[in-house]
Structure 1
Amino acid sequence: MVAVVELGAEPGVGAAYARAVLGLLPGARKAGGALPDVEVVRRGVVVDRSHLAAYDRVCGFRLSDTLPGTYPHVLAFPLAMRLMTSPDFPLPLIGLVHVANRIAVRRPLSADTPLDLAVRVADLRDHPRGRQFDVIATASVDGAEVWSGVSTYLRITSARSDRPAEPGAGGGADGGAADGGAVWRVPARVGGDYAAVSGDRNPIHTSRLGARLFGFPGPIAHGMWTKARALASLEGRLPEAYTVEVAFKQPIPLPSRVRFETLPADGGWRLTVASKRPHLTGTVVRAA
């Protein structure tokens, strides 16, 4: 039976990062342990409009009382951090790679509507380069689920990768005609700006030294910023209910210049953000 932990206030992300550092110490975690069978819940979460406006600006959305499809992910992030830095979590938070994200928007959400958030982790499994698992978040109103998100994280333990390249990863490489495109100039400040509005202050996004410690020559953009920026580029064309699923490929170094392209597919779009290599590939599909 899943144990439910109900929080009366938002857990501090700063304290979670402190626990994450302690989790790197020898013997801090049980190697090979199972994921905790716990759901963290916070009810009646009210959107701070100044925070929403800041998020909209950083990610390129128009200022509006309607929540971007990626915004509830930010609201749920502190709950996910609480789970992933708990003493019984089997993998250290620092070093995890966000490799994929799927969001389902059931209906438009207004900043006026309090949300009940719930987060749990599931499906710890092997991967050619290590182990991966899912963080599952939901937002509900009056008991009805209105939004859900699944973030897949990978703990790399091997340099070998058997994962094949995706067909069409270059944006229209399958012979289709791209439905418009745009060049994004991604400034160096994106890492710090998105960290401030998302709470994701992983040093690989905000510090040259922190990035180098994990094998990057400099800071890289957050994958969820890239996804949000892609959705912002489709604003005004998105249906009221849809699913957007992406895979995070190569990181975007900061600063950078990348190209965003869409390709019509099954009543929605295929998405690509790429430079010399793809950074993000994905789809937007209208809900049935």
Structure 2
Amino acid sequence: MSDDPTTDGTAAKPPGPPAGTLVLTTPPAVGPLYRQAAIGLVPGLGGRRGGDTLPGLELRLRGVTVDRRQLAAYDRVCGFRLTDTLPATYPHVLAFPLSMRLMSAPDFPFPLVGLVHVANRITVGRPVDAGEALDLSVRAADLRPHARGRQFDVLATASVGGEVVWRGVSTYLRRERTAGDRDGRGPGDRPAPPAASGRWRVEPRVGTEYARVSGDQNPIHTSRVGARLLGFARPIAHGMWSKARCLAALEGRLPDAYTVDVAFKLPILLPSTVAFSASPAWSFALHDARSGRPHLTGTVTSG
């Protein structure tokens, strides 16, 4: 007799994914998703967008393995040491194609092009070895008002053997005309930046090299024409590169389990020189080395 019989005497099948879950067999190709998003900007070709509801779909991808050569290239462009332990920001790279698939779907309320990554939180449950296979999940949640439009979160997890070892929360802003478009703050109202503990020259190659190793091929980071189409004089650095570069500067001093929060402020135009600062209480920041304009602020909390 079966230990767990069904009514017809056969062994019970393991439960499948819950309703609202799509299990993918391969990572989505990011390039076509960007091209699809660009076509969607053409009137009459992108379909209707809008609404107040995020899709309830969760995307999953099982058994994701790390390409060691890609990881080494990522470590180099971000400033990490070459080790077998994944940087805290690397699972974000692995989950990024799922996020792109989710946000470029026809039922997503906002067009992908034009969304602004304004904040990111990563929680490391334990060190993750590059040889471990990861099960990834991604979903969107918490559509809410913002002073300059609306924002929402993309929630990602990485699990090993059913244990969640990493969590990421990426907050995106959809800019819309609101009463809060101008807050009255000018350069004179900005607090002075903290004393710098390091200065980094960020060359244009950072945009192209990070795009290649991360899969984030948004032309705003790699093309002067693409940047100008979205209002920037030059390409801008990826926000997640700047977060990774800050964590690389703290490498070897972080606990095994921690949460790192960052708020992305003004973009880093390429090329630029930035000033990095960090306090013993593990707050850190990036500012423009000449003007003091803020690019990023962050905190690290243990546990």
Change (3 A) 1:163 1:51: farther
Separation in 1, partners of 2:210, 2:262: 19
Look up the match of 1:129: 148
**Structure 1 counterpart of 2:28:** 11
Residue 247 of structure 1 pairs with residue 263 of structure 2: yes
Uncovered stretches (5+) of structure 1, i.e. residues with no partner: 173-177
Structure 1 residues 9 and 169 mapped into 2: Cα distance closer, same or farther (>3 Å)? farther
C-alpha deviation, 1:140, in angstroms: 0.5
- Structure with bigger strand share is 1
Counterpart in 2 of 1:106? 125
List runs of 5+ in structure 2 lacking aligned partners. 1-17
1:1-288 → structure 2 map (5 Å cutoff) = 3-26=20-43, 28-158=47-177, 160-162=181-183, 170-172=192-194, 181-265=197-281, 269-275=282-288, 276=291, 277-287=293-303
Report the residue type matching 1:18 in the other structure. R
Q: What is the rounded CA distance, in whole Å, between the counterparts of 2:135 and 2:191 in structure 1?
A: 37
For residues 236 and 200 of structure 2, the distance between their equivalents in structure 1, rounded to whole angstroms, comes to 15
Select the structure of larger CA radius of gyration.
2
Shift of 1:6: 0.3
What is the number of equivalent residue pairs in this alignment?
A: 277
The Cα of 1:264 is off from its aligned counterpart by 2.1
Q: Aligned-pair RMSD on alpha carbons?
A: 1.9
C-alpha offsets along residues 59-88 of structure 1, whole Å, 9 cap, x if unaligned? 000111100000000000000000000010
TM-score, with length taken from structure 1: 0.92
Deviations 1:198-221 (A, max 9, x none): 111111111111111111111010
CA, structure 1 residues 259+130, in 2 after alignment: closer, same or farther (shift >3 Å)?
A: same
Runs of 4 or more, structure 1, over 3 Å off, are: 161-165, 167-172
Within 1, Cα distance between the matches of 2:38 and 2:150?
A: 20
1:39–1:119 CA contact under 8 A, matched in 2 = yes
Secondary structure in 2 matching 1:229: helix
Give the percent of matched residue pairs that are identical in Structure 1 and Structure 2: 62
Shift of 1:164: 7.0
